[in-house]
Structure 1
Amino acid sequence: MIPETLILRLSKTTHGFKPFEKEARALLDPDSLEGSRDIALELLTSGAYQVRCCGVFMLGLIAASDASVLHLLKEQARTDISWQVQEVIAKAFDQFCRDRGYGQSLPEIREWLADPTPTCAGRLPRD
Protein backbone atom coordinates (compact mmCIF):
# COMPACT_ATOMS: atom_id res chain seq x y z
CA MET A 1 0.00 0.00 0.00
CA ILE A 2 1.38 3.37 -1.03
CA PRO A 3 1.35 5.90 1.81
CA GLU A 4 -1.18 8.70 1.34
CA THR A 5 1.50 11.22 2.33
CA LEU A 6 3.57 10.16 -0.71
CA ILE A 7 0.58 10.50 -3.03
CA LEU A 8 -0.21 13.96 -1.64
CA ARG A 9 3.41 15.10 -1.88
CA LEU A 10 3.74 13.91 -5.47
CA SER A 11 0.35 15.30 -6.49
CA LYS A 12 1.40 18.80 -5.42
CA THR A 13 4.20 18.85 -8.00
CA THR A 14 3.10 20.85 -11.04
CA HIS A 15 6.38 21.60 -12.82
CA GLY A 16 9.38 19.44 -13.58
CA PHE A 17 10.15 15.76 -13.27
CA LYS A 18 13.03 15.73 -10.76
CA PRO A 19 10.78 15.28 -7.69
CA PHE A 20 9.29 12.14 -9.26
CA GLU A 21 12.72 10.73 -10.01
CA LYS A 22 13.94 11.54 -6.48
CA GLU A 23 10.96 9.75 -4.92
CA ALA A 24 11.41 6.78 -7.27
CA ARG A 25 15.03 6.38 -6.22
CA ALA A 26 14.03 6.58 -2.55
CA LEU A 27 11.34 3.90 -3.01
CA LEU A 28 13.65 1.41 -4.73
CA ASP A 29 14.58 -1.62 -2.69
CA PRO A 30 18.05 -2.69 -3.86
CA ASP A 31 17.52 -6.10 -2.29
CA SER A 32 14.23 -6.81 -4.05
CA LEU A 33 13.65 -6.11 -7.73
CA GLU A 34 10.30 -7.83 -7.45
CA GLY A 35 9.27 -5.67 -4.52
CA SER A 36 10.35 -2.52 -6.36
CA ARG A 37 8.44 -3.62 -9.46
CA ASP A 38 5.33 -4.27 -7.37
CA ILE A 39 5.50 -0.80 -5.83
CA ALA A 40 5.96 0.75 -9.28
CA LEU A 41 2.98 -1.17 -10.64
CA GLU A 42 0.84 0.03 -7.75
CA LEU A 43 1.90 3.62 -8.48
CA LEU A 44 0.86 3.16 -12.12
CA THR A 45 -2.75 2.56 -11.06
CA SER A 46 -3.09 6.06 -9.61
CA GLY A 47 -5.38 8.63 -11.14
CA ALA A 48 -2.72 11.30 -10.56
CA TYR A 49 -0.21 11.58 -13.39
CA GLN A 50 2.45 12.64 -10.89
CA VAL A 51 2.17 9.34 -9.04
CA ARG A 52 2.28 7.38 -12.32
CA CYS A 53 5.41 9.34 -13.30
CA CYS A 54 7.12 8.15 -10.12
CA GLY A 55 6.15 4.56 -10.94
CA VAL A 56 7.50 4.89 -14.47
CA PHE A 57 10.80 6.27 -13.17
CA MET A 58 11.03 3.25 -10.85
CA LEU A 59 10.49 0.89 -13.79
CA GLY A 60 13.22 2.67 -15.75
CA LEU A 61 15.64 2.25 -12.89
CA ILE A 62 15.14 -1.52 -12.74
CA ALA A 63 14.48 -2.31 -16.42
CA ALA A 64 18.05 -3.36 -17.20
CA SER A 65 17.91 -5.90 -14.36
CA ASP A 66 14.37 -7.20 -14.89
CA ALA A 67 13.46 -8.27 -18.42
CA SER A 68 9.70 -8.03 -17.80
CA VAL A 69 9.85 -4.32 -17.05
CA LEU A 70 10.64 -3.10 -20.56
CA HIS A 71 7.38 -4.63 -21.78
CA LEU A 72 5.52 -2.87 -18.95
CA LEU A 73 7.02 0.47 -19.98
CA LYS A 74 5.97 -0.06 -23.57
CA GLU A 75 2.41 -0.96 -22.56
CA GLN A 76 2.23 2.14 -20.39
CA ALA A 77 3.42 4.19 -23.37
CA ARG A 78 0.61 2.77 -25.47
CA THR A 79 -2.13 3.45 -22.94
CA ASP A 80 -1.31 6.46 -20.75
CA ILE A 81 -2.84 9.67 -22.12
CA SER A 82 -0.79 12.02 -19.93
CA TRP A 83 1.91 13.84 -21.88
CA GLN A 84 3.88 14.12 -18.62
CA VAL A 85 3.88 10.35 -18.19
CA GLN A 86 4.85 9.98 -21.85
CA GLU A 87 7.88 12.21 -21.27
CA VAL A 88 8.92 10.19 -18.22
CA ILE A 89 8.54 6.97 -20.24
CA ALA A 90 11.12 8.35 -22.67
CA LYS A 91 13.39 9.18 -19.73
CA ALA A 92 12.86 5.69 -18.27
CA PHE A 93 13.69 4.05 -21.59
CA ASP A 94 16.82 6.19 -21.83
CA GLN A 95 17.76 5.06 -18.31
CA PHE A 96 17.37 1.43 -19.42
CA CYS A 97 19.61 2.08 -22.45
CA ARG A 98 22.21 3.89 -20.32
CA ASP A 99 22.28 1.13 -17.70
CA ARG A 100 22.47 -1.66 -20.25
CA GLY A 101 24.69 0.21 -22.69
CA TYR A 102 23.42 2.03 -25.77
CA GLY A 103 25.16 -0.38 -28.13
CA GLN A 104 23.60 -3.39 -26.40
CA SER A 105 20.21 -1.66 -26.49
CA LEU A 106 20.09 -1.04 -30.24
CA PRO A 107 17.63 -3.91 -30.89
CA GLU A 108 15.20 -2.49 -28.32
CA ILE A 109 15.66 1.05 -29.66
CA ARG A 110 14.89 -0.15 -33.20
CA GLU A 111 11.87 -2.07 -31.95
CA TRP A 112 10.44 0.97 -30.16
CA LEU A 113 11.11 3.25 -33.12
CA ALA A 114 9.32 0.81 -35.44
CA ASP A 115 6.27 0.52 -33.18
CA PRO A 116 3.15 1.79 -34.98
CA THR A 117 1.89 3.42 -31.78
CA PRO A 118 2.97 7.08 -32.03
CA THR A 119 3.53 7.39 -28.30
CA CYS A 120 6.09 4.57 -28.28
CA ALA A 121 8.29 5.93 -31.04
CA GLY A 122 7.44 9.60 -30.80
CA ARG A 123 8.84 10.30 -27.35
CA LEU A 124 12.15 8.47 -27.56
CA PRO A 125 15.29 10.57 -27.23
CA ARG A 126 16.85 11.04 -30.66
CA ASP A 127 20.29 12.47 -29.85
Structure 2
Amino acid sequence: MTASLLSLLFIIVLCGHFVGLILGYKRRKTTLTLAYVNAIFVVLTFIFWVITSWSNNHYNIDIYEGLLICFEACILSSSLYSIKGFGYKTYVKIINSIGFGIHVLALMAMLYYIRLFQFDQLF
Protein backbone atom coordinates (compact mmCIF):
# COMPACT_ATOMS: atom_id res chain seq x y z
CA MET A 1 0.00 0.00 0.00
CA THR A 2 1.58 3.25 -1.08
CA ALA A 3 1.55 6.55 0.76
CA SER A 4 -0.87 8.19 -1.65
CA LEU A 5 -3.36 5.33 -1.41
CA LEU A 6 -3.10 5.30 2.38
CA SER A 7 -3.52 9.08 2.51
CA LEU A 8 -6.61 8.80 0.33
CA LEU A 9 -8.03 6.15 2.65
CA PHE A 10 -7.43 8.35 5.70
CA ILE A 11 -9.00 11.35 3.98
CA ILE A 12 -12.10 9.29 3.11
CA VAL A 13 -12.43 8.07 6.70
CA LEU A 14 -11.89 11.60 8.02
CA CYS A 15 -14.54 12.97 5.65
CA GLY A 16 -16.88 10.21 6.86
CA HIS A 17 -16.37 11.40 10.42
CA PHE A 18 -17.14 15.00 9.49
CA VAL A 19 -20.18 14.01 7.42
CA GLY A 20 -21.48 12.05 10.41
CA LEU A 21 -20.93 15.05 12.66
CA ILE A 22 -22.72 17.43 10.28
CA LEU A 23 -25.64 15.04 9.73
CA GLY A 24 -26.01 14.53 13.46
CA TYR A 25 -26.04 18.27 14.04
CA LYS A 26 -28.60 18.87 11.28
CA ARG A 27 -30.92 16.10 12.53
CA ARG A 28 -30.40 17.14 16.16
CA LYS A 29 -29.27 13.62 17.04
CA THR A 30 -25.56 14.20 17.38
CA THR A 31 -25.08 11.66 20.17
CA LEU A 32 -26.70 8.86 18.19
CA THR A 33 -24.84 9.69 14.98
CA LEU A 34 -21.50 9.89 16.78
CA ALA A 35 -22.27 6.56 18.40
CA TYR A 36 -22.80 4.93 15.00
CA VAL A 37 -19.62 6.45 13.58
CA ASN A 38 -17.63 5.38 16.65
CA ALA A 39 -19.03 1.85 16.56
CA ILE A 40 -18.22 1.41 12.87
CA PHE A 41 -14.72 2.81 13.31
CA VAL A 42 -13.97 0.63 16.36
CA VAL A 43 -15.23 -2.54 14.69
CA LEU A 44 -13.09 -1.84 11.63
CA THR A 45 -10.10 -1.14 13.90
CA PHE A 46 -10.62 -4.47 15.68
CA ILE A 47 -10.89 -6.29 12.34
CA PHE A 48 -7.64 -4.67 11.15
CA TRP A 49 -5.91 -5.58 14.43
CA VAL A 50 -7.02 -9.22 14.26
CA ILE A 51 -5.96 -9.60 10.63
CA THR A 52 -2.51 -8.10 11.22
CA SER A 53 -2.01 -10.10 14.43
CA TRP A 54 -2.85 -13.40 12.77
CA SER A 55 -0.85 -12.71 9.63
CA ASN A 56 2.28 -11.88 11.67
CA ASN A 57 1.80 -14.75 14.14
CA HIS A 58 1.89 -12.04 16.80
CA TYR A 59 0.18 -13.41 19.89
CA ASN A 60 1.81 -11.37 22.65
CA ILE A 61 0.34 -7.97 23.43
CA ASP A 62 2.48 -5.19 24.85
CA ILE A 63 1.12 -2.64 27.31
CA TYR A 64 0.42 0.09 24.75
CA GLU A 65 -1.48 -2.24 22.47
CA GLY A 66 -3.46 -3.54 25.43
CA LEU A 67 -4.35 -0.02 26.54
CA LEU A 68 -5.48 0.84 23.01
CA ILE A 69 -7.64 -2.29 22.84
CA CYS A 70 -9.21 -1.48 26.23
CA PHE A 71 -9.85 2.12 25.15
CA GLU A 72 -11.49 1.02 21.91
CA ALA A 73 -13.58 -1.56 23.79
CA CYS A 74 -14.75 1.19 26.16
CA ILE A 75 -15.70 3.37 23.19
CA LEU A 76 -17.54 0.45 21.57
CA SER A 77 -19.48 -0.37 24.72
CA SER A 78 -20.44 3.26 25.17
CA SER A 79 -21.51 3.50 21.54
CA LEU A 80 -23.63 0.37 21.77
CA TYR A 81 -25.13 1.65 25.02
CA SER A 82 -26.06 4.88 23.26
CA ILE A 83 -27.47 3.08 20.23
CA LYS A 84 -29.54 0.86 22.51
CA GLY A 85 -31.41 3.94 23.73
CA PHE A 86 -29.50 5.34 26.65
CA GLY A 87 -27.87 8.23 24.79
CA TYR A 88 -29.50 10.80 27.05
CA LYS A 89 -27.17 9.94 29.95
CA THR A 90 -24.43 12.51 30.41
CA TYR A 91 -21.51 10.11 30.83
CA VAL A 92 -22.44 8.29 27.61
CA LYS A 93 -22.45 11.58 25.71
CA ILE A 94 -19.08 12.52 27.19
CA ILE A 95 -17.43 9.17 26.38
CA ASN A 96 -18.82 9.21 22.82
CA SER A 97 -17.65 12.77 22.25
CA ILE A 98 -14.18 12.11 23.67
CA GLY A 99 -13.85 8.94 21.60
CA PHE A 100 -14.96 10.74 18.45
CA GLY A 101 -12.50 13.57 19.09
CA ILE A 102 -9.61 11.19 19.73
CA HIS A 103 -10.41 9.25 16.57
CA VAL A 104 -10.44 12.45 14.49
CA LEU A 105 -7.21 13.71 16.05
CA ALA A 106 -5.50 10.35 15.55
CA LEU A 107 -6.58 10.22 11.91
CA MET A 108 -5.29 13.74 11.30
CA ALA A 109 -1.99 12.93 13.05
CA MET A 110 -1.50 9.77 10.98
CA LEU A 111 -2.31 11.66 7.79
CA TYR A 112 0.19 14.37 8.68
CA TYR A 113 2.84 11.78 9.57
CA ILE A 114 2.38 9.91 6.29
CA ARG A 115 2.49 13.09 4.22
CA LEU A 116 5.53 14.37 6.14
CA PHE A 117 7.74 11.30 5.69
CA GLN A 118 6.46 10.06 2.30
CA PHE A 119 6.28 6.31 2.89
CA ASP A 120 7.09 4.07 -0.06
CA GLN A 121 5.46 0.98 1.39
CA LEU A 122 3.38 0.45 4.52
CA PHE A 123 3.51 -3.33 4.83
TM over 0.5: no
Of the two structures, which has the highest relative contact order with CA contacts closer than 8 Å and spacing of 6 or more?
Answer: 2
Greater Rg, structure 1 or structure 2?
Answer: 2
TM-score of the pair, normalised by structure 2: 0.35
Q: Which has the higher helix share?
A: 2
**TM score, norm. by length of structure 1:** 0.34
